[in-house]
Amino acid sequence: MTRIADAFARLSRERRKGLVAYLTAGFPSLSETIDLVLAAEGAGADVVELGVPWSDPSADGPVIQRAMERALDGGATLARSLELIGELRRRRCEVPIVLFGYYNPIYAFGPARAARAAAEAGVDGLLTVDLPLEEAEELDAPCRAHGLDRIPLLAPTTSPERAARHAARGSGFAYYVALTGVTGAGHLDAANVAARVSALRPSLGALPLAVGFGVKDAASARAVAAPADAVVVGSAIVQAIDAAPDARARVEAVRSLVSTLRDALDGKTNT
């Protein structure tokens, strides 16, 4: 079992909802990202998605787009993101890490080489938002060969039949995009999310389901967690980092927000 499978198995045993925290590798700097991931782990994140900066993040809203621009300006690349993860593992960071992003950097690096390097660095899974199911085997095969989970992405428009095809090829968990649009945008309709999740669940078998896009605070996290196994929070965390004045405040901002979300999912707060 991968760290991701272990995390969801533990959550199931404990009857708790999972929290997946997204950060952009290299924002505000590569060195600070290490401290921010460790803060998220310590505050209760069950999985960390580490976004690989790219120049055309079409699925992301302005908050993460700006973070990626700053990360690229600071020299962040796929290779340096993997070095960062390797350093996290050397520092005894045990939280499951999903390398999150777009296919172009992986394609340029080479899918087989990228999967091997990711596994060696301590990555647990890959999620590529713009690689269609029909074209994914060139990445699926190297992921299987190196023991990496391939996280499938489901949209509000995904049919149960297509969801079943994703589940058959994927592992770790499925990521359901709660909104049509980009990250950080729109208003979540919890009832609609619950209906769509309920419609897709039978197609996923035992694969856990996480809901993301539009989860911004404790209330929205609680609302969308009800029909799912986990929630994903990204733009709100990146925004909190961006608003903090210095490195110490950025670590505290991540720790505070992740802790608040963790408490909300565990039913420890009424906010």
Report residue 57's pLDDT band, with 50, 70 and 90 as the boundaries.
confident
Torsion of CA 159, 176, 138, 60, to 10 degrees: 120
Max Cα–Cα distance, the chain, nearest Å: 48
Contacts of 162 (CB under 8 A, 6+ apart): 133
Q: State the DSSP string of 41-57.
A: HHHT-SEEEEEPP-S--
pLDDT tens-place string over residues 88-106: 999 999 999 999 999 999 9
Contacts of 51 (CB under 8 A, 6+ apart): 22, 23, 24, 25, 64, 67, 68, 100, 101, 234
pLDDT tens-place string over residues 174-209: 999 987 554 444 566 888 888 999 999 999 999 999
In the chain, % helix, strand, coil (3-state, to 5) comes to 50, 15, 35
Instruction: Note whether 211 and 231 are within 8 A (CB).
Output: yes
Type of residue numbered 128 = T
Residue 217 vs residue 259, higher pLDDT: 259
**Angle at Cα 232 formed by Cα 89 and Cα 57, nearest 5°?**
85
Measured in whole angstroms, the distance separating CA 187 from the mean position of its chain's CA atoms is 20
Question: 3-264 belongs to which homologous superfamily?
Answer: Aldolase class I (3.20.20.70)
Task: Tokens for 181, please give them.
Answer: 């649009």
pLDDT for residue 268 is more than 90:
no
Mean pLDDT computed over 70-87 = 97
Rounded to an integer, what distance in angstroms lies between the CA atom of residue 135 and that of residue 131? 7
Mean pLDDT computed over 109-131 = 97
Q: Which helix (H) or strand (E) holds 220?
A: helix 218-225
pLDDT for residue 271 is more than 50:
no
- What pLDDT is recorded for position 186? 54
Instruction: Note whether 263 and 217 are within 8 A (CB).
Output: no
Instruction: Note whether 192 and 155 are within 8 A (CB).
Output: no
Closest by Cα among 183, 75, 193 to 129: 183
- What pLDDT is recorded for position 187? 63
pLDDT for residue 1 is more than 80:
no
- What pLDDT is recorded for position 68? 95
49-53, 63-67, 216-220: which has the minimum mean pLDDT? 216-220
Rounded to an integer, what distance in angstroms lies between the CA atom of residue 208 and that of residue 255? 25
Mean pLDDT computed over 158-180 = 93
60-69, 111-120, 241-250: which has the minimum mean pLDDT? 60-69
Give backbone dihedrals phi and psi of 209, rounded to 5 degrees, phi first: -125, 125
Ranges of each domain in the chain: 3-264
Instruction: Note whether 232 and 190 are within 8 A (CB).
Output: no
pLDDT for residue 156 is more than 70:
yes
Report residue 29's pLDDT band, with 50, 70 and 90 as the boundaries.
very high
Catalytic one among 46, 49, 124, 140? 49
Report residue 35's pLDDT band, with 50, 70 and 90 as the boundaries.
very high
Mean pLDDT computed over 59-71 = 91
Mean pLDDT computed over 212-235 = 91
Task: Tokens for 40, please give them.
Answer: 């998220």
SS3 177: strand
> Quick check: is 49 catalytic?
yes
> Quick check: is 120 catalytic?
no
Catalytic one among 41, 46, 60, 124? 60
